[in-house]
């Protein structure tokens, strides 16, 4: 296995732990531990940490090491505002010519989200929510938008898994249905509106839940 592939494996492993809060904000990232866990040298782990620091997930302090970046309330606000704007445009473009395959995928995912909503199973619901948004991204012809939104998407997942109690699954699932209905109708403006509404509501939920005090 080449060093580049090993660096990608290390990157994916560390990022997954950050997103799922196995590594919490401010926690040190120990190169030796990941090298041993992934059965590789420290070099690709160090490269993965460098890439994650460029993307803002990790902060590297000279002579101290690497730590999971601490997100301030302002960081969270800016992240959600960006998602509201960028993914709104993605939905707008995706609604122009939706394929039957993509519409069927979104329909199936909403069905599964409804099932998990009724079971109050946030973590499984979130997996289907992620796939819904990823399907939306695959429908968008503007690849530059997708490149930038993916990094933001990882951050929002990291944030939401820390505030499960603040998520209104009923409202969130309903909004996803509205997005799908707009896409089926090829109504780009409504698709953008409901996508932006979804992110705006999620941001307000965090505010109401008191993330300013809990970050």
d(CA 180, CA 195): 10
Per-residue confidence at 131, pLDDT binned at 50, 70, 90?
very high
Per-residue confidence at 153, pLDDT binned at 50, 70, 90?
confident
Taking only the tens place, the pLDDT of each residue in 105-119 is 999 999 999 999 999
Residue 212: its H or E element: helix 211-214
CB atoms within 10 A of CB 186: 12
Q: Average pLDDT, stretch 127-151?
A: 92
Which burial class, exposed, middle or buried, applies to 119 when counting CB atoms under 10 A from its CB (0-12, 13-18, 19+)? exposed
What domains can be seen in the chain, in order of their start residue? 3-68 (1.10.10.10), 73-214 (1.20.120.530)
Per-residue confidence at 165, pLDDT binned at 50, 70, 90?
low
Among 9-18, 19-28, 82-91, the least confident range:
19-28
Strand runs labelled E in 111-178: none
Task: Kindly report the pTM of this predicted structure.
Answer: 0.78
Taking only the tens place, the pLDDT of each residue in 25-81 is 899 999 999 999 999 999 999 999 999 998 888 999 998 999 998 878 788 888 899
* Mean pLDDT (the chain, rounded): 89
Per-residue confidence at 189, pLDDT binned at 50, 70, 90?
very high
- Of 62, 65, 2, nearest to 30 (Cα)? 65
Instruction: Work out whether the CA dihedral 94, 172, 75, 23 comes out positive or negative.
Output: negative
Per-residue confidence at 215, pLDDT binned at 50, 70, 90?
very low
User: DSSP letter string over 74-112?
Assistant: HHHHHHHHHHHHHHHHHHHHHTTS--HHHHHHHHHHHHH
Rg (CA), the chain: 18
Q: Are 120 and 24 in contact (CB under 8 A)?
A: no
């Amino acid at each position: 296995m080449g060093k580049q592939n090993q660096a990608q494996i290390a990157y994916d492993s560390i990022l997954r732990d950050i997103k799922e809060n196995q590594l919490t904000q401010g926690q040190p990232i120990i190169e030796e531990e990941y090298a041993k866990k992934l059965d590789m040298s420290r070099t690709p782990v160090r490269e993965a940490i460098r890439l994650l620091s460029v993307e803002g997930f990790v902060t590297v302090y000279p002579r101290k090491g690497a730590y999971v970046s601490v997100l301030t309330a302002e960081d969270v606000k800016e992240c959600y505002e960006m998602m509201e704007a960028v993914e709104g445009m993605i939905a707008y473009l995706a609604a122009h010519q939706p394929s039957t395959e993509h519409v069927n995928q979104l329909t199936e995912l909403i069905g599964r989200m409804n099932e998990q909503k009724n079971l109050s199973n946030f973590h499984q619901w979130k997996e289907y929510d992620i796939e819904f948004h990823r399907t939306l991204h695959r429908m968008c012809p503007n690849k530059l938008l997708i490149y930038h939104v993916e990094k933001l998407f990882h951050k929002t997942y990291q944030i939401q898994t820390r505030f499960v109690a603040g998520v209104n699954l009923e409202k969130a699932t309903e909004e996803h249905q509205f997005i799908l209905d707009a896409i089926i109708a090829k109504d780009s403006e409504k698709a953008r509106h409901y996508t932006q509404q979804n992110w705006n509501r999620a941001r307000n939920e965090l505010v109401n839940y008191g993330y300013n005090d809990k970050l």
